[in-house]
Amino acid sequence: MPLFNVITAAIGILFLASLVFLIRRDHLHIRYSLWWLSVAIVVALFGIFPGLNDRIAALLGISYPPIFPVVIAVLLLLSRLFLLDLENSSRRTDLTRLTQRLALLDQRLRELQSQRPDARNQTDD
């Protein structure tokens, strides 16, 4: 096995091991870990089985097989960025709604407090 394939497989396996470590320590949420686990497995598979890339590229009609992982990586990164933007937009909307709701509740609380006689005046009588 060529050195490049050994290094690629080692990177995938080390990445996979570090992900498992982070998941076990509860430093990485399971929602995000599934994405990264799949990436680590694919990198390890392409490193362990270098002919896999050539076969898949040939099946797809790609004449230069080394470009196949690059195209897949770019597509995955773009899809990941898109999903992160969707999640960020959703959280921003939720935060805006929560802030508005808090302001309304705060206003309502002040109205209720202004309608109620002061508690200190009642205890003096």
- Whole-angstrom Cα distance, residue 75 to residue 81? 10
- Which residue's entry shows tokens 């995938």? 12
In this structure, of 5-14, 83-92, 105-114, the range with the lowest mean pLDDT score is 5-14
pLDDT at 11: 83
- Whole-angstrom Cα distance, residue 103 to residue 106? 5
pLDDT at 109: 94
- Whole-angstrom Cα distance, residue 57 to residue 61? 6
| Dihedral sign (CA 73, 47, 43, 19) | negative
Structure-token pair, residue 66:
């080394």
